[in-house]
Chains A and B, each alone.
Chain A
């Protein structure tokens, strides 16, 4: 089986079959990532389509020495970020997550049996949420996250540490 990077090189040469193979492999996990990031599966469907369009358009710019997954996840993160900026420019909610997610979590905070983890994630600032979701849900390594988000590895570590601490506090740990 061809690696993602080999397929991406074929896409850069214009091979449609290679692009279809990549979509078959990664459309689901990319959608899951975007759904966790923005908190809305249907919005994530729009974002994942936009992400694949950008991946196809950027195929010729793909650096063969890079890994496909962090590169593609980085594109998807940028797509979500652009959408969030557009929403914010129109006076929408401060983050692409549904406005009610965080409040739902706070309302249910007292009930241990009904912890809304998505709501707790929604309470985290976007940059922390991105790092947390990429690391613990999508299984990217710290260096891959650094590649995807275009930041230094040390910054990834620090963001993860802050995110874990914030989540811990949110879940009832000592402040």
Chain B
């Protein structure tokens, strides 16, 4: 029986918290080196018994849970699609503002057309003035249509931006 093998088994028995085999214990009583190791292991065992298992303070445990839950929520929010809550309200608000602005835009266009007609009437025939009116009003109507059509897109983009930043 080699001391090396006995000492390995003694150490394993200590680590596994089991009693050493009787033949190893008997060998340890006769052999000085193995006996020294057995004494150290017994002392370490007592030390282990006296050692308090490190306790996680309740505050630290609560903090653990809170921080983990926050991380989970952040992870979930990052994966979730853009929230639609509030989108309808913001869209209605933007369209209302646009609707209120419509008379101003229309009034401005009418004023320009009236001034142009008044200034040019002495020199141009009525048919030409009519064509000029069409040439003027067509881009104005087109610009307004594009502007009002873009409102929902702008509102949706505004909703997505904070989410992407987060």
Contacts and interface: CB of A to CB of B under 8 A. Distances in A.
Interface of A: 11, 14, 16, 19-20, 23-24, 27-28, 31-32, 35-36, 41, 44-45, 48-49, 52-53, 55-57, 59-60, 112-118, 120, 132, 135-136, 164-165, 167-168, 171-174
Contacts of B33: 173-174
Contacts of A171: 11, 37, 40-41, 44
A37 B72 CA distance: 27
B39 interface: yes
A18 B57 CA distance: 22
B93 interface: no
Interface stretch (B61-69, B102-110, B147-155): B61-69
Interface in B1-32: 3-4, 7-8, 10-12, 15-16
Contact of B44 (A41, A53, A117): A117
Contact of B7 (A32, A55, A57, A173): A173
A45 B56 contact: yes
B40 A52 contact: no
A111 to B, nearest CB: 9
Interface residues of B, number: 40
A115 B14 CA distance: 14
Nearest to B4: A174
Contacts of B34: 173
A68 B72 CA distance: 17
A57 B37 contact: no
B124 interface: no
B164 to A, nearest CB: 19
Contacts, number: 120
A113 B7 CA distance: 20
A53 B71 contact: yes
A24 B51 CA distance: 23
Given A59-B75, A168-B8, A49 B43 contact: no
Contacts of A113: 43
Contacts of A24: 65
Contacts of B64: 23, 27, 48-49, 52
Nearest to A36: B54
A16 B61 CA distance: 16
A132 B16 CA distance: 11
Contact of B69 (A32, A41, A56, A167): A56
Interface in B38-59: 39-41, 43-44, 47-48, 51, 53-57
Contacts of B68: 19, 23, 52-53, 55-56
